[in-house]
């Protein structure tokens, strides 16, 4: 198994890499298309906004590389959003490998946006990525934009309204929460991804 972290400038790269090391996996950080294509598992981390995130991928020549991958691919936080068709954030065209368009979370009385902190996960579909997830499990979120619930939703959560906490379409999967900061639940889901 050879896991790569796509070096697209995400500030959570170090913490994702450390979480994988705790699971016994050393992940290579690279923006080299050949190294990414030859990996057994690819992780696209990211923190920040959609437009700069896609710009970094374009500048690195990675958009078509990522779209063409056939091995398991996991987007984390912004990385998950970049897997979708597009984002309202800056009216950004994204990779388009997962259906859906990312939307700003609505402001509601008593609810803070960005959504920050621990929130409950609810499995929406049976999938190898979510094997072992139990009712009442929680994960750590930091985001202002979210993917609406749809046929591609594997796990939902709620902050005012329901949103996709994890998605899957073929070999492409994503987690809106930070598995690297989500204690045992995050470790379980990362381990599930590595077992695919």
CA 194, 36, 155, 22 torsion: positive or negative? positive
Cα–Cα distance, 9 to 7 (Å, whole number): 6
* Of 84, 115, 159, 180, catalytic: 180
Structure tokens given for 87? 């984002």
* Of 41, 115, 159, 178, catalytic: 178
Length of the chain, please?
196
Is 77 assigned a catalytic role? yes
Is 41 assigned a catalytic role? no
Strands 153-159 and 161-169: what pairing?
antiparallel
Is 180 assigned a catalytic role? yes
Q: What are the residues whose beta carbons fall under 8 Å from the beta carbon of 127, sequence distance 6 or more?
A: 154, 168
Q: Residue 64 class from Cβ within 10 Å (0-12 exposed, 13-18 middle, 19+ buried)?
A: exposed
* Of 41, 77, 89, 115, catalytic: 77
Cα–Cα distance, 111 to 195 (Å, whole number): 37
Going by the DSSP 8-state scheme, the letter that residue 37 receives in this structure is: H
- Determine the longest span between alpha carbons in the chain, in angstroms: 49
Q: Report, as residue numbers or ranges, the catalytic residues.
A: 77, 178, 180
């Amino acid at each position: 198994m050879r896991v790569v972290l796509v070096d697209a400038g995400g500030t959570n790269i170090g913490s994702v890499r450390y979480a994988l090391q705790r699971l016994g996996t050393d992940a290579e950080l690279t923006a080299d298309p050949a190294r990414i294509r030859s990996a057994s598992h690819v992780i696209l981390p990211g923190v920040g906004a959609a437009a700069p995130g896609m710009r970094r991928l374009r500048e690195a020549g990675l958009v078509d590389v990522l779209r063409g991958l056939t091995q398991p691919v996991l987007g984390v936080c912004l990385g998950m959003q970049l897997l979708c068709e597009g984002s309202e954030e800056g009216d950004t065209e994204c990779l388009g490998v997962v259906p859906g368009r990312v939307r700003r979370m609505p402001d509601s009385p008593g609810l803070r946006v960005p959504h920050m902190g621990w929130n409950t996960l609810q499995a929406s579909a049976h999938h190898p990525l979510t094997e072992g997830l139990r009712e009442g499990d929680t994960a750590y979120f930091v985001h202002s934009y979210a993917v609406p619930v749809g046929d591609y939703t594997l796990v939902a959560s709620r902050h005012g309204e329901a949103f996709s906490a994890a998605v899957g379409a073929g070999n492409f999967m994503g987690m809106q929460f930070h598995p690297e900061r989500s204690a045992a639940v995050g470790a379980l889901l990362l381990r599930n991804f590595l077992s695919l």
